[in-house]
Structures are given as C-alpha cells and as structure tokens.
Structure 1
Amino acid sequence: MNALLEVSRLRKAYGPTVAVDGVSFSLPPGGALGLVGESGSGKTTTARMLVGLERPDSGSISVLGQPLAPAVHGRAARLARAKAVQMVYQDPYLSLDARLTIGETLDGVLRLHGHRDRSARAARVRELLAQVGLGDREAAARPRGLSGGQRQRAAIARALAVEPAVLVLDEAVSALDVSVQAQVLNLLTDIRREAGIGLVFVSHDLAVVRYVCDEALVMWQGRPVEHRALPDLLARPEHPYTRLLLASVPHPGWEPGDIASRRRALSEPIPGERPA
C-alpha cells in the first residue's frame, strides 16, 4: 500500500538551537500517528513543517507520492498545499473569523477553492456541519456564540472543507473538558474511517493518543526516541523518556517526587544516545 504521507529526516534549527532533528515516518491511507512529547520536544515544530508554516532546513515531505515544496509562491500553489495538508489548532479562534458566522466561514473556504455554484456550496456547508455533528443553529452563530467543543467541531469542518489528504491536529482537544474531548475524539475516529483521511495527532498526552492513533512517535529534545505501534509501546516502553511520560499520568501510588527525580536523571547522558 502506498504511503499517504512520507516524511524523511526533517531537521529545523533556530540559530544554535536544534528544534527538530531526524524525524522520519510514513502514514498509510486512513492511518493515524501520534506525535508525542512535552513542551520543547519538537512535536509542534514538526507539525508546522508538515503544513508549511515552517520551512525545514533539510529533509523531505511527500503527500500521495508528490513532494511538498519547502516554500510555496502564488495563489495556486498555496491552495494546492492547503488541499494536501490541513491543521486543526488547540485554539479554534486561530482558524475561525470572529466576524463571520460558521456558515459564512465554510462558504468562504469553498469559494476560495473554486466552488462557484451558490446552491451547491450551501448544500456542502450543511453536509460538512452534519459530518461534525452541528446544524443550522451553529451555522448561524459566530464563534463566540458556541461552546468550546462546538468551536473545535467547526474548526474541524473548516479543515475538511478543502478535502485534505492529511489532517494535522496540534493539541486539538487539550483545552476541552474530558467529556467533550471524548466526543471530538470519537468524531475524528469516524472521519478517519469514513473518509480515509490520514491523521497526525500532536499531543503530550499518551492517554488521548491511544484513543485515536495506531502508532506513536515519541520525541524528546527535538529527536525521535521511540516509534512503534501503540499497544506495544504502551505495554513495553523502551526509552526512559517514554517510560517517564507514562509514569507521569496520575494513578494509585503515584509519587510526584519520583517523577521529578526521573526527569532530572534524563538530563544526564544516556548510554548509546548522542548529546542533544
């Protein structure tokens, strides 16, 4: 089966600081990969390179066998890049215009991508809203008139409007209540199954990632340290950082002092690892 998304040896530095170094993975059609790590691990920089918000210093990204240019110029190239990969942010206000209703926002995206017929656009807007569990009331509302979960659903509908091959979700449920998180995660699972869209799920939370992803790539200090199928990774974590992430989830007998000690120990050189 041909890869939907192929990422090879991505590297990004800001001056002397290397934010991402040597990230590689492939994603099959309908696959879901978790990019996992805490703040500063490089996972969000990787996500931004996937959608063209950051330009890699080296490495390559291909969607459906077609290389994505490190930089795009011109309207047609920007629209093609948007159709290949879309991002859903932690804060849906980053992609929703506060001045427009949700229906107007979706209609604008469709017009931008060449849908000229007004009645066909209206039908497509209704279809997109239904796909994410929203209806006419939400279509007529502006972002401030919706709950956090409804805004995130609307942001997902906006991303889906261009029919992307890959959806990148950057901490897309971390700001939501647990019950709303479950609703959005169920929605993403349904979309993946029904539309065959690939998901790259960026998160610090392995409990969330295990709900929606097949595999996880764990990042630490900008580098991939473990990449395996999720059931195997969760049952038999090999890298000390992966074990720390799992141990950091509160559970009976959880000792914050032990977690802090293990975190300090990670700053010491690990046999077989090159310095960060």
Structure 2
Amino acid sequence: MTSETDTLLQVSGLRKTYRTGKAEVVAVDDLSFSVRAGGALGIVGESGSGKTTTARMLIGLERPDAGRILVQGEPLTATVRGKAARLARAKAVQIVFQGPYLSLDARISIGATLDGVLRLHGLTDRADRAIRTRELLAQVGLGEREAAALPRKLSGGQRQRAAIARALAVEPAVLVLDEAVSALDVSVQAQVLNLLWDIRRGTGIGLVFVSHDLAVVRYVCDEALVLYRGRTMEHRPVADLLADPGHPYTQLLLASVPRPGWDPDSISSRRREHSG
C-alpha cells in the first residue's frame, strides 16, 4: 500500500511474548504494517488484543522478541545510549497517552514545558524558543492564558492539546496516539480529532492511532489494522473495512457499537462464541 520513497514507518514481523509463571503469553505475533508521510493507520481491537504493547514497542518502552521497526529507513533499537541517541530516538517517534498527566509536569506551566523540550533539543536562543512555543500552542488551539497555566488549571481537552503540542515540539516523523481521545467528552473528542487531521495534512507527520473505537478510527485514519490476541485479522482501507468487514471479529467489533435497535445481550453471546 505504501511506496518505499514515502514510507515513514515500516514494521516487519514484530513479536512480543510475556511469561506468567510457567506459561508464555503471546501479546503480539508476526505484526507487519507501514505508514507513509502524511498517512494515518488505526490499530483497533479490544483490551488485551496487543494494541498498547505494539505502541510501547514503537516508542522503545518494550523490546520486541523478533521483527524490526524502521523509521525513515533507519532501525529503531530498543536500547539507546547517550544523550544524542536519546534525542534522535525522540525525534523519530513520539507518543500521546490517554492521560496527558503522563507527559506533562504538574509543577510547571505549559509554556515552560514546551520551552524545556525546545531547549533540550537544541534551540538555545530564548527569543526563538518563545516564538516557537507560541507557534506550537497556536497549532493546537491554545494561547497565552493556557501557556501560563499549570496542567491542573486546564480542562481535559486543553491538557490533551498541550500534550500533543509537547510531542510535536521535537518535530517527530511519527506520532503514536494510544487511546488519546477515549477519556474526553464527545464534543472535545471531535475538536482533538479535527486538530489531528489538520496536523497530519499540514506537516506530513505519520500517525499511528491506537483505539478500541472504530468511529474514531473512521474519522482520522486512512487504513485500519484489526488485532485479536496479537494477530492481524484484517488490514485494509478504513472505508472498505467498515463497509464490508471480512473477518468475524471485525464484524463483532462493528456490531458492538451502540445504535438504534442495538441488542447488547446478542453481542455478549457472539463474543463468547468467538472467544471459544
């Protein structure tokens, strides 16, 4: 689906297992996908499907047992040594978590957070950092009032926008969003999703959107990859997958979305049959 010349992220044969007592649990098994410049891939599945493990491997928090991850053609190693290597890794892939408090320091203002990231990544002139900080805040729809505020003084949507600005400050090639809008109200979700759409079109960044919500993936992604117990069930353009899901598990996910006439008891019964 993606040519080599515009590929930002290439994942091949990724596998991750965990040991619980004497048993080995396969979290991700032979996972492969790519993301082009300006593209967006949704990784979809229920809790335990391997979505978050995949996200953690993409940013180096987990080491894969097998497979490789390339960003702009360069291998992404799980272990980096030295400041220069860590900064290069940060510029390759950034993540926005479900809870923005994980990336925002509660003790300092949003503006100071962005200033610190820019300084760490080599922007030494204070005036230049101030200009870039204002640009980043404007890019995510925040202004001077939010820049001066501590994270606890902002709404959930504003904090998530600030977390996105922090991730964008290093100008990464790929941005991973791990359930990044699931804790937000529906109206705020729409605002953040619109923001992400604008960012990918305006910057050429590649997005990997990890979610259990097919409606969210439909809105912001070009392609969707459905995971079940660590394995790929389907990987197709979003419109095709939602219009005509080919795998029973994808059909079950779509049937689980509440709508008029929805029967949760029927869904529970189908889920038990599929798991069995």
- Displacement after TM superposition at 1:181 (Å): 0.2
Which deviations, in whole Å up to 9, do the C-alpha atoms of 1:84-106 show, x marking residues without a partner? 00000000000000000000000
Q: TM-score, normalised by structure 1?
A: 0.96
Which deviations, in whole Å up to 9, do the C-alpha atoms of 1:38-88 show, x marking residues without a partner? 100000000010011111011000011111113212211111111000000
Matches for 1:149-164 after TM superposition, within 5 Å: 149-164=157-172
* In the alignment, structure 1 residue 257 sits paired with structure 2 residue 265: yes
Task: Provide the residue aligned with 1:272 in structure 2.
Answer: none
SS at match of 2:142: coil
Query: What is the aligned counterpart of 2:76 among 68, 73, 78?
Result: 68
Task: Provide the residue aligned with 2:10 in structure 1.
Answer: 6
SS at match of 1:4: strand
SS at match of 1:163: coil
Query: What is the aligned counterpart of 2:59 among 51, 71, 75?
Result: 51
Matches for 1:207-218 after TM superposition, within 5 Å: 207-218=215-226
- Displacement after TM superposition at 1:9 (Å): 0.7
- The AA in structure 2 aligned to 1:10 is L
Task: Provide the residue aligned with 2:98 in structure 1.
Answer: 90
Task: Provide the residue aligned with 1:274 in structure 2.
Answer: none
Query: What is the aligned counterpart of 1:234 among 234, 242, 246?
Result: 242
- For the residues of structure 1 that align with 2:125 and 2:82, how far apart are their CA atoms? 24
Which deviations, in whole Å up to 9, do the C-alpha atoms of 1:105-148 show, x marking residues without a partner? 00000111111101000100000000000000000000000000
- The AA in structure 1 aligned to 2:128 is A
Which deviations, in whole Å up to 9, do the C-alpha atoms of 1:25-49 show, x marking residues without a partner? 0111000000000100000000010
- For the residues of structure 1 that align with 2:156 and 2:261, how far apart are their CA atoms? 33
Task: Provide the residue aligned with 1:113 in structure 2.
Answer: 121
- For the residues of structure 1 that align with 2:234 and 2:81, how far apart are their CA atoms? 36
Query: What is the aligned counterpart of 1:145 among 139, 144, 153?
Result: 153
Query: What is the aligned counterpart of 1:33 among 20, 33, 41?
Result: 41
* In the alignment, structure 1 residue 167 sits paired with structure 2 residue 202: no
Task: Provide the residue aligned with 2:28 in structure 1.
Answer: 20
SS at match of 1:260: helix
Structure 2, unmatched stretches of 5+, are none
SS at match of 2:184: coil
- For the residues of structure 1 that align with 2:158 and 2:138, how far apart are their CA atoms? 12
Query: What is the aligned counterpart of 2:188 among 141, 156, 180?
Result: 180
- For the residues of structure 2 that align with 1:98 and 1:243, how far apart are their CA atoms? 42
SS at match of 2:199: helix
- The AA in structure 1 aligned to 2:13 is R
Which deviations, in whole Å up to 9, do the C-alpha atoms of 1:192-217 show, x marking residues without a partner? 00000000000000001000000100
Task: Provide the residue aligned with 2:111 in structure 1.
Answer: 103
Q: TM-score, normalised by structure 2?
A: 0.96
- For the residues of structure 1 that align with 2:141 and 2:217, how far apart are their CA atoms? 22
- Regions of 4+ moved over 6 Å: none
Task: Provide the residue aligned with 2:199 in structure 1.
Answer: 191
Structure 1, unmatched stretches of 5+, are 269-276
Task: Provide the residue aligned with 2:137 in structure 1.
Answer: 129
What percentage of residue pairs aligned between the two structures are identical? Answer: 76
